[in-house]
């Protein structure tokens, strides 16, 4: 059997639904999702192998302008990923393109990178707005194809896969057909904890945390995880822990329940909160947490 592969990079503003789309395509959660912008911080690869075709998707942070060390590294991740993209899946909402989007499209045009436009969230938007957005976007860039879809319901996702399959090239598979993501399990576990924080806490606190795995051990029928939540202020630590430890308990409970479903076994999860002043600018810590160097 001759095999084919296609590499596609999901790009777009924060919060447009890139990670939701990736999860919908893969059929399992590989990238965390939240209603708050700047949820994804690193590049995450999701893999779908169907018959003789392997689709490799790169999810990445939304276009941002970084001010802290962390923000700059996220911006660098976006920049590197855009440079390396073979095919861009440019995800947008049904609005006219903003400045950051226009800038990225300009770069894609300069590099000659082919792009498919995805107008997401069609489950929640009237048709006229979708059509208006399509004409506004196609006026600034020559897209190979335009696909309105709903990452949430899956409506239209098959059309995107069909477009990508047409662009797949004959080659051996790059990943084991069983593999869904490139993220180590321990890193994924931390991401799920961070996701629960994005849901349970206001914007400022979860955006100021980083997670590190202290230990991840598997024994018969049980995964035992010890994770450290770094935050930059004493006041944030108090909020994360909550009255009598109630908030941290709720974060851990939600994360544990989800991880038990994900791993298909019992999970023991213990999270500690540590204050590390100005960690967003601490180069050593950013390196050890796996953020791209500037
Ligand atoms: N109604 C609707 N909401 C959606 C859809 N896709 C994503 N969302 C919501 O949009 C929000 C952002 O989704 P994410 O997938 O985290 O967005 P993102 O583009 O990865 O965001 P960053 O990682 O911050 O760049 C979440 O609340 C999703 O539930 C969709 O098709 N329809
Ligand atoms: Mg994301």
The predicted-structure confidence for 137-175, as pLDDT tens digits, reads as follows 999 999 999 999 999 999 999 999 999 999 999 999 999
185-288 under CATH 3.30.300.20, yes or no? yes
The predicted-structure confidence for 235-290, as pLDDT tens digits, reads as follows 999 999 999 999 999 999 999 999 999 999 999 999 999 999 999 999 998 998 88
Contact 214, 187 (CB under 8 A): no
Q: Whose CA is nearest to atom 6 of ligand 1?
A: 17
Within 8 A by CB and 6+ apart from 39, the residues are: 14, 15, 19, 32, 33, 195, 198
Contact 106, 82 (CB under 8 A): no
Determine whether the shortest distance from the Cβ of 42 to ligand 1 is under 6 A: no
Contact 195, 171 (CB under 8 A): no
Q: Whose CA is nearest to atom 11 of ligand 1?
A: 35
For the chain, the domains span 4-170, 185-288
Best probe residue, ligand 1, of 9, 15, 95 (max atoms within 8 Å of C-beta): 15
Instruction: Look up the CATH superfamily of 4-170.
Output: P-loop containing nucleotide triphosphate hydrolases (3.40.50.300)
* pLDDT of 294 over the 70 cut: no
- CA 264, 209, 204, 58 torsion-angle sign: negative
Question: Could you say which DSSP state residue 123 is in?
Answer: G
Residues paired with residue 9 on neighbouring β-strands, in sequence order: 58, 88
- Ligand showing the shortest atom-to-Cα distance for residue 38: 1
Determine whether the shortest distance from the Cβ of 19 to ligand 1 is under 6 A: yes
Number of continuous H segments (helices) and E segments (strands) in the chain: 10, 10
């Amino acid at each position: 059997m001759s095999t084919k592969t296609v590499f596609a990079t999901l790009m777009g503003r924060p919060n447009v639904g890139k990670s939701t789309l990736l999860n919908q395509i893969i059929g399992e959660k590989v990238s965390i999702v939240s209603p708050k912008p700047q949820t994804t911080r690193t590049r995450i690869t999701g893999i779908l192998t169907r018959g003789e075709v392997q689709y490799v998707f790169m999810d990445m942070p939304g276009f941002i302008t970084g001010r802290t060390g962390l923000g700059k590294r996220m911006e660098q991740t976006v920049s590197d990923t855009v440079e390396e993209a073979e095919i861009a899946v440019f995800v947008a909402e049904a609005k006219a393109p903003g400045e950051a989007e226009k800038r990225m499209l300009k770069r894609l045009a300069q590099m000659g990178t082919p792009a498919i436009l995805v107008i997401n969230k069609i489950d929640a938007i009237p048709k006229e707005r979708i059509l208006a957005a399509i004409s506004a976007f196609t006026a600034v860039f020559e897209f190979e194809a335009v696909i309105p879809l709903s990452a949430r319901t899956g409506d239209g996702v098959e059309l995107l896969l069909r477009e990508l399959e047409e662009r797949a090239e004959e080659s051996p598979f790059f990943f084991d057909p069983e593999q869904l993501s490139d993220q180590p399990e321990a890193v994924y576990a931390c991401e799920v904890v961070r996701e629960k924080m994005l849901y349970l806490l206001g914007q400022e606190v979860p955006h100021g945390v980083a997670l590190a795995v202290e230990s991840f051990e598997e024994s018969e029928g049980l995964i035992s995880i010890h994770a450290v939540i770094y935050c930059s202020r004493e006041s944030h630590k108090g909020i994360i822990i909550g009255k009598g430890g109630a908030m941290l308990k709720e974060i851990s409970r939600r994360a544990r329940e989800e991880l038990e479903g994900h791993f298909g076994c019992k999970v023991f999860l213990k999270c500690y909160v540590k204050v590390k002043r100005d960690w967003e600018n601490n180069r050593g810590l950013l390196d050890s947490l796996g953020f791209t160097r500037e």
